[in-house]
């Protein structure tokens, strides 16, 4: 065990940018850094050195889930401190990208992967999402905006960018719980179709459509975008869905858009992005989003170009997603009395880590989120300036 302890102490000596306290399984304690301790990390048992070296993200993630590691203090703060230390061996996650075995997201696998995450249950998501049940990045016109206001801001921001006109047709690929298509139909009088692979979402959206009396203008289908045939649309939007497509299917996604868009049609893509290269975190891929892939900005722009799309606008909302996730993490903790009635401690620690780690990743610039606005063919009808978006 002497060798193991030496490895741990050497590894953790320069791991974080803040002062912290490390306690090992034998009770020995070290403080690294100067000044006030910002957080404490405790190993309740030793973790094999080979596992840490092979895949630190997966190893530490599983260790926290199973209580081999405990954290005293903010989980988000711990991960931000890790990312902010440029000398940390974990700082550049790209070096572990080759360890991730990418899943093939054919139609069958895509549905299975979506069900894994989104069919946990509407009751679970309702406990910590906002009133609109929107599970994607909000848009904060003010840092003090409530989560519900930020989500409504986001929907309105997207609908303005699309420059919707009464009577146009709108497709929402990955429509979630339906807030966008219902808002579009109510405010802009468009004919909207939402598609999803989640049975839980399908039921909830249909319930909302009926409640709003929008059966004649809004519909929702349980279908993969690749299976949607013999229909075209004036506008297509996708929010937080492309991350589920997978690297091998990016070109296929944009080809499908080309087939589904009318001439001069406009599309808005809202998705998480990498700066230099695409990839994913192995722990998140296994436990949260199987088959997921975060594409690099250049991959997406190249795909648009390959299909002949014209890119009109690109906006980075990185800090907006950090703020959104902070709201979700806080709501999640506040809802623990209810969540713990149906979910065990491992599940709770898994989701706590996921929400806080993602907030830290956006805040520290490890990943970003972009909205891309592009059109098919020559479209001289879009406004010449960005004023109409605001």
Residues 15 and 131 in one domain: no
Q: Which residues belong to the active site?
A: 358
What pLDDT, on the 0 to 100 scale, is given for residue 4?
67
Residues 70 and 207 in one domain: no
Walk along the chain (390 residues) in steps of 10 and give the mean pLDDT of each run.
68 88 92 94 90 86 94 95 79 40 46 46 89 93 97 98 98 95 98 94 95 97 94 97 91 97 98 85 79 90 97 97 97 97 93 94 94 96 93
For residue 239, give the CATH number of its domain: 3.40.50.150
Domain edge (last residue) among 91, 119, 144: 91
d(CA 314, CA 270): 10
Q: Is 99 part of any domain?
A: no
Residues 355 and 235 in one domain: yes
289: nearest Cα among 122, 103, 127: 103
d(CA 176, CA 195): 8
Q: Are strands 368-375 and 261-273 parallel, antiparallel or unpaired?
A: antiparallel
Residues 194 and 331 in one domain: yes
Q: Cβ(383)–Cβ(346) under 8 Å?
A: no
pTM of structure? 0.88
Residues 176 and 274 in one domain: yes
Q: Is 96 part of any domain?
A: no
Helix (H, G, I), strand (E, B) or coil at 178: coil
Residues 28 and 145 in one domain: no
For residue 14, give the CATH number of its domain: 3.30.1050
Segments forming the whole domain that contains residue 51: 2-91
d(CA 58, CA 283): 4
Residues 115 and 217 in one domain: yes
């Amino acid at each position: 065990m002497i060798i193991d302890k030496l490895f741990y102490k050497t590894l953790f000596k320069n791991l974080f940018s803040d002062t912290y306290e490390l306690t090992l399984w034998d009770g020995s304690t070290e403080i690294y850094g100067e000044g006030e301790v910002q957080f404490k990390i405790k190993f309740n048992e030793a973790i094999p050195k080979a596992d840490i070296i092979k895949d630190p993200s997966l190893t530490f993630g599983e260790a926290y889930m199973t209580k081999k590691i405990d954290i005293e203090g903010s989980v988000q703060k711990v991960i931000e401190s890790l990312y902010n230390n440029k000398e940390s061996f974990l700082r550049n996650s790209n070096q572990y990208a080759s360890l991730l075995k990418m899943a093939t997201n054919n139609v069958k696998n895509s549905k299975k992967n979506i069900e894994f995450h989104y069919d946990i249950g509407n009751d679970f998501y309702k406990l910590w999402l906002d009133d609109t049940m929107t599970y994607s990045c909000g848009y904060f016109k003010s840092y003090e905006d409530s989560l519900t206001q930020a989500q409504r801001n986001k929907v309105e921001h997207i609908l303005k960018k699309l420059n919707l006109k009464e009577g146009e047709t709108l497709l929402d690929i990955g429509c979630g719980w339906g807030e966008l298509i219902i808002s579009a139909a109510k405010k802009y009088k468009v004919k909207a179709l939402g598609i999803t692979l989640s049975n839980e979402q399908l039921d909830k959206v249909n319930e909302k459509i009926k409640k709003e009396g929008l059966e004649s203008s809004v519909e929702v289908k349980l279908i993969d975008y690749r299976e949607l045939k013999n229909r075209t649309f004036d506008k297509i939007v996708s929010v937080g869905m492309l991350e589920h497509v997978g690297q091998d299917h990016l070109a296929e996604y944009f080809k499908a858009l080309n087939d589904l868009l009318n001439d001069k049609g406009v599309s808005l893509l809202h998705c998480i992005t990498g700066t230099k290269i695409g990839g994913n975190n192995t722990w998140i891929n296994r436990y949260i989003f199987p088959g997921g892939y975060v594409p690099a900005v250049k991959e997406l722009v190249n795909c648009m170009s390959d299909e002949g799309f014209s890119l009109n606008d690109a906006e980075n909302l990185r800090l907006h997603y950090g703020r959104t996730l902070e709201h979700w993490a806080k709501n999640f903790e506040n809802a623990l009395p209810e969540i713990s009635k149906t979910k065990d401690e491992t599940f709770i620690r898994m989701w706590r880590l996921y929400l806080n780690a993602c907030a830290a990743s956006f805040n520290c610039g490890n990943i970003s989120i972009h909205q891309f606005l592009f059109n098919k063919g020559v479209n001289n009808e879009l406004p010449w300036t960005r004023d109409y978006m605001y």
